[in-house]
Amino acid sequence: MHGIDKLHLGAAYYPEHWPQERWAEDIALMKAAGFTVVRMGEFAWSRFEPEEGRFAFEWMDRAIAMLAQAGIATVMGTPTAAPPAWMVQCYPEIVRVDATGRPQQFGNRCHYCVSSPKYHDLTRRMVEAMAEHFKDNPHIIGWQLDNEFNQECHCGHCRADFQAYLKEKFGTLEELNLRWTTDYWSQTYSDWTQIELPRGGHNPGLMMAYRQYVTEAYRRYAHLQVECLRRFIPQAQWITHNLMGWFGLYDHYRLSAELDLVSEDYYVGSGHVDAAASAAVWDLMRGMKHKNFWLMETQPACVNWAPVSNKLNKGEARMLAWQAIGHGCDAVLYWQWRSALNGQEQYHGSLVDQAGLPRPFYEEVTELGDDLAAAGAVLAGTRVETPPVAIVNDYESRWSLEHQRHHKDFDYVTELNRWYKPFHDRNIRTDIISPEADLAPYRVVVVPYMAVIDDARALRLKEYVEGGGTAIITCRTGFKDHCDAMLPTRPPGTILQELTGVEVEEYYALDRTVAVSAALFRGSAQYWAEKLKTTTSARMVETARFESFNGWIDGQPAVTTHLPGRGLVYYIGCVLDDVSMRKLVDHILTFKMIRPAIKDLPPGVELCIRINDAGQKFLLLVNTTPDTRRVKFPPNQHEYITGGDYEGDVNLPGYTVAVLGERAPAVAHSAAGAAAAD
């Protein structure tokens, strides 16, 4: 695995769009901005293979060499997201088919069938040709597979492939019929070929299996490319794929397993940065492999596809980059370098316009380049210290709840982010992890809406809590198995009933809010409430109750606390409002004595911590607001961007960052001097 010896700054670059005599001007501007990396090649199949079997890589060799002379490394993309016109003409069977049976029209991208054997063959030939050609190029530091896996296919081959997948998964039709309860509505199958790809609503077992199949189809396709690359490229060159945050077509944890590192494409779209929402995405990406990640694409001021493609405020994108770095990002790349003269994204933001001249945003990126030149060396090779809190994210539970919301306004990702926000706003660092992740490192684990449960998941939680951990388990947990079938026991399932001390007698989609009262808070529940029956005894505390509502849950427990073993478990039998959730989180953090490393930071100032192998910690204070904030620095701190030694009260201007590391004892500047330096 390639060692990260610097924090990288760069952009997606498409030299194939421009005459070669223009490249030197582009590269000079990149160097002046502080670029150290570009990503290239991911849409260049028609240039790499202009006709079948004839490869042309020399133009890319020249671009890589020119960039390298300026100290800029290359991440090479495999171009498989954009199969060329000659290929579609020669092999129409590779084209993706939508749910209505209509083939995808050439001229967009990702118009291929991810399971097509012929496309696999064509991909293998291209990736192997690239790997063999570029394998000895020392200026390529990594490879990106394809670009933003994001489509599904309903062609005849995919249907047959899905049927083969089900046969391998279930073994017999009898088992499939049993697990999917196909006696319901006379859905029983007597032949594998009778099973269709779901279009719209369908049997929950079929819909869940289809999402699992799509995950497997993309995992196999990624594996094919990884195998081709690894046969040729040196071990020092890493392999990644650029994910898209909360995109939910497939299970990102399974797809990421074989990658060396995860990369993310993050766009604000309309409006402005929501600091808690962007922080959650960074923690989601870091949690994929519990390792640092790359921001492979982010917007330079604006996009072209949002309902209102407004530009970010001056300094806002620079702040977003530093927030990502604080959460474990090792590289920030903008999409894209220069506006293309034609194509579907003409109005998308860029650093250089169609005339080849720097746009106003170029200045902001240059400032970020100066930041990294000053502070990047001490952060290179550091990682995010293990947080005290984890939130469990489960794709199968998400799919299950999306397929049967039961309340139109209940959204899994929105609600998971609502649990993330009170920790973020208190500067309590948080991981977002898989249900199969180790829980032992965390002091508090939040398990929101984990509808899909099995004994292994439940026992992992039980072991964690009984060993001294604190778990927050919410409503809508423990309803289903991995086939999306109802469990034969009441939620949250037998093991979690024992752990939480409650079982769910009934559940209610709420047509209005219901008041909830407790010693800790007086608030309300929205969307969902459960009638809880306590199943254990003296170690159970009813923390909150529903007030008058529908006669069924009036006066019934809404939040319970149970003390099994040496730990503590809260069961939240409703969707709490924001204020109540914050009050409950505050109570738990106080009880667990979990505090931020710097107390009393003003609202909007986010504290991040990166640590090196020697145990030295670096504090990143990111002002996510446009306004100056007065911040108290800890004693004996060196600030790496300004190069000053400060302590005490310091002005942190809007959208800026301070990178702090403890210095050797010396006479510190006064707070007034530090403020003046700002």
Q: Where are the beta strands (DSSP E) in 380-521?
A: 383-384, 389-392, 430-433, 444-447, 470-474, 502-509, 514-518
CATH class of 8-152+238-381: alpha beta
pLDDT in tens, 313-363: 999 999 999 999 999 999 999 999 999 889 888 899 999 999 999 999 999
- Segment 154-166 mean pLDDT: 98
Interval 50-105: pLDDT, tens: 999 999 999 999 999 999 999 999 999 999 999 999 999 999 999 999 999 999 99
Q: What angle do CA 484, 173, 202 make, to 5 degrees?
A: 40
Contacts of 363 (CB under 8 A, 6+ apart): none
pLDDT score, position 674: 39
Confidence band of 38 (pLDDT split at 50, 70, 90): very high
pLDDT of residue 4: 61
pLDDT, average across residues 167-190: 98
- Give mean pLDDT, residues 377-387: 95
Mean pLDDT of the chain: 94
The whole-number pLDDT of residue 1 equals 41
Share of the chain above pLDDT 90, in %: 91
Secondary-structure class of domain 389-592 per CATH:
alpha beta
C-alpha–C-alpha distance, residues 185 and 189, integer Å? 12
Q: Could you tell me whether strands 514-518 and 522-534 are parallel, antiparallel, or unpaired per DSSP bridges? A: antiparallel
Q: What is the pLDDT of residue 109?
A: 83
Tokens (6 digits) for 298: 């982010």
Q: Which of 42, 297, 364, 503 is catalytic?
A: 297
Chain position carrying tokens 């989601």: 284
Q: Is 297 a catalytic residue?
A: yes
Q: How many residues does the chain have?
A: 678
Distance CA 500, CA 419 (A): 19
Map tokens 């427990």 to a residue.
557
- How far is the C-alpha of 283 from the C-alpha of 431, rounded, in Å? 6
Q: What mean pLDDT is predicted for residues 418-432? A: 97
- The model's confidence at residue 462, banded by pLDDT at 50, 70 and 90, is very high
**128 given a catalytic annotation:** no
Q: Tokens 């069977």 map to which residue?
A: 93
Number of H helices and number of E strands within the chain?
18, 26
Q: How far is the C-alpha of 503 from the C-alpha of 496, rounded, in Å? A: 9
Catalytic, out of 148, 216, 264, 396 = 148
How would you classify residue 64: left for phi > 0, otherwise alpha for psi between -120 and 50, otherwise beta?
A: alpha
Fold of domain 605-677: Immunoglobulin-like (2.60.40)
- What are the pLDDT digits (tens) for 215-260? 999 999 999 999 999 999 999 999 999 999 999 999 999 999 999 9
pLDDT of residue 437: 97
- Asked if the peptide bond before residue 336 counts as cis, ω within 30 degrees of 0, the response is yes
CATH topology of 389-592 equal to that of 605-677? no
